Amino acid sequence: MTGPTGAPVAGAVAAEASASRPEAEAAAVHVARAGAAGMVSPVDGLGVLHLFCHVGPGTDRARLGAAVASARQAGDQVVTVSVLGHKADVGLMALGPDLRRLRALQGAVQAAGCTVTASYVSLTEVSEYAAGIPEEMRQARLYPQLPPADKPAFCFYPMSKRRGDVHNWYAMGFEERKELMLGHGRVGRRFHGRVLQLITGSTGLDDWEWGVTLFATRPDDLKACVYEMRFDEASARFADFGPFWAGVVADLDEALDLSGGAR
């Protein structure tokens, strides 16, 4: 199985090779059958599920690998990350058209002995402020191909626009909001080639309004991008940020090896 660059999808070969036990086969069947009751899909774009997990001696490597491999075989993308810090050991970012299938993957991950410490649910989208962008750019936002080549540094955080008494994003007119977002985008374009940003919408789906996933060549690119964009007026006056998760894109076996916990 290969990714958008033609290289093997992270962890797919190792996971499929190791998934020989009955429990692992059951995990694969569980994910593969998830859509039998009918797909639950957005009109345009993909569902996105971030899972951040702790692993331990009870984590079944083969069963987890089978779940990830089955999701990929069904057509979903699953990016696996080795997470730094105490919040999680392993991160999974899954993108696919069917929310049932994403939920089945979550269940299979938990059945493999992973403890989900945090999650985030969102949808790929094209911002209302990006109307009229070229079709190629529109498709890249709705149907991204992840992970990008040569960008192993990873971070994810949720955010919302402020609705306070003094600064209320939603009390402004569309044109004023659009002008601020165009300025915000100009700052982000300084990092073209160094950082790939995917903003997914979560209003009505999770606790924040957007999820921001960043892939970078080096970890200091992530730091510099987020730092510089906070000075932009759209962020400085109107942005509230949630917790951050940072890590390294790795195939599943490497991520589990680095965690030191899975059998």
Active-site residues, by number, are 157
Residue 34: DSSP 8-state = G
- What is the rounded CA–CA span in Å between residue 241 and residue 210? 10
Instruction: Check: CB of residue 87 under 8 Å from CB of residue 52.
Output: yes
The dihedral through the CA atoms of 33, 39, 44, 47 has a sign that is: negative
Determine the 3-state secondary structure of 164 from DSSP.
coil
The DSSP element (H or E) to which 103 belongs, if any, is: helix 99-111
Query: Could you tell me how many residues make up the chain?
Result: 263
CB 84 within 8 A of CB 249: no
N-term to C-term CA, the chain? 25
Reported in sequence order, the residue ranges of the chain that DSSP labels E, i.e. its strands, are 47-54, 77-84, 90-96, 115-124, 153-161, 195-201, 210-216, 239-241, 245-249
**Count of C-beta atoms within a 10 Å radius of residue 68:** 30
Pairing verdict, β 153-161 and 210-216? antiparallel
d(C-alpha 26, C-alpha 103), whole Å: 16
CA 244, CA 165: separation in Å to the nearest integer?
Answer: 26
